[in-house]
Copies of this chain bind each other. A is one copy, B any other.
Amino acid sequence: MTDSTVVPLQALKVSCSNCTLRELCLPLGLNREEMTRLDAVIRQSRRLKRGEALFRNGEGFKSLYAVRTGFFKTCISSQDGREQVTGFHMSGELMGLDGISANVHGCNAVALEDSEVCELPFSRMQNLALEIPSLQHHFYRLMSREIVRDHNVMMLLGNMKAEERLAAFLINLSQRLTVRGFAANDFILRMSREEIGSFLGLKLETVSRTLSKFQQQGWIAVDHKHIQLEQPEQLKQLVAGCANAHPTPNH
C-alpha cells in the first residue's frame, strides 16, 4: 500500500504542464510561460461517482469541463420525456461547449463510471485566449471539431442502417480507446444498451439483436458489457461505404 498521505497530494495536483492528457486536451504549442498561466486558470479537479451529474440542462454556464478519468454521456430530453444522448466522452475530451451560446448549459452531463474532471472557468479562459493567440485558435478548432463530429452523427442517424450504425459506433469507440493507450479490440462498455440505442437512434432491443448478429457471424464476442472485436476489418468494411467521403483528420 502506498503511504496514504501521498496519494491525495498527487490527486490534488492539477496542472496541464505535467498532465498525461496533454496531447489530447487543450494545450497545443504553448511555451512554458503560457503553460504556467494556463495552469493558474484551471480549477482543481472534481470527482464524480457513477450516475452523478456534472451539470444539468438549464443550469447557469460558468465552466467547460475536461474529462481526466472516467466516462460521461451528454444528453438532452424533450418535453414529453424522450431522451437523446448527444455524445459519449472519455479522457481528454471537453464538455459544455453548447453552454456558451446562451450562458446556460444546453445538455445534461452524467458520469457513467466514477470519474474526474478538470474545470475550466470559461470567462478566465476567454481572457487568457485574448493574450495567447494559439490558445484562442485552439478553442476555435475544438469547437469546430465538435461541429464536424455532430455532422457525422447526422449522417449516421439520417442515412445509415442499424448494422452500419452499430459497427460505426464500435469502431469509433475502439479508435478512441487506442489513442488513449487501451486495447483496441477488447473493452468494457460503460453505457447500457438503452443509452447506445438513444445515441444511435435505435431501440435497445435492436441494439441487443444486432450485437447478437455480429457475434453469430464471428465478428465480435459479447459478454454483457465486455466486448471483443474478433474481426474488426469486417466491421470497418460494413462502415466503409457510409463513411464521410472527405474524412476530417483529427489534428
For residue A42, give the distance in angstroms from its CB to the closest CB of chain B: 18
Is the beta-carbon distance between B201 and A57 smaller than 8 angstroms? no
Q: Name the B residues within 8 Å of A199 (CB-CB).
A: 158
Interface check A210, CB cutoff 8 A: no
Task: Please measure, in the bound complex, the distance between the C-alpha atom of A200 and the C-alpha atom of B144, giving whole angstroms.
Answer: 22
User: How many copies altogether?
Assistant: 2
The stretch among A11-19, A33-41, A183-191, A238-246 that forms the contact with chain B is A238-246
Query: Within residues 114 to 161 of chain A, which ones have a CB less than 8 A from any CB in chain B?
Result: 126-127, 129-130, 133, 136-137, 139-148, 150-155, 157-159
Is the beta-carbon distance between B86 and A159 smaller than 8 angstroms? no
Interface check A26, CB cutoff 8 A: no
Q: Name the B residues within 8 Å of A244 (CB-CB).
A: 76-79
Is the beta-carbon distance between B97 and A147 smaller than 8 angstroms? yes
Is the beta-carbon distance between A57 and B100 smaller than 8 angstroms? no
For residue A137, give the distance in angstroms from its CB to the closest CB of chain B: 6
Chain A interfacial residues counted at CB < 8 A: 59
Q: Name the B residues within 8 Å of A158 (CB-CB).
A: 84, 157, 198-201
Please name the residue on chain B nearest to A147 by beta carbon: B98
The stretch among A2-10, A45-53, A101-109, A218-226 that forms the contact with chain B is A101-109
Query: Within residues 48 to 105 of chain A, which ones have a CB less than 8 A from any CB in chain B?
Result: 57-58, 76-80, 82-84, 86, 97-102, 104
Interface check A181, CB cutoff 8 A: no
A: residues with CB less than 8 A from B are 57-58, 76-80, 82-84, 86, 97-102, 104, 106-107, 126-127, 129-130, 133, 136-137, 139-148, 150-155, 157-159, 198-201, 240-246, 248-249
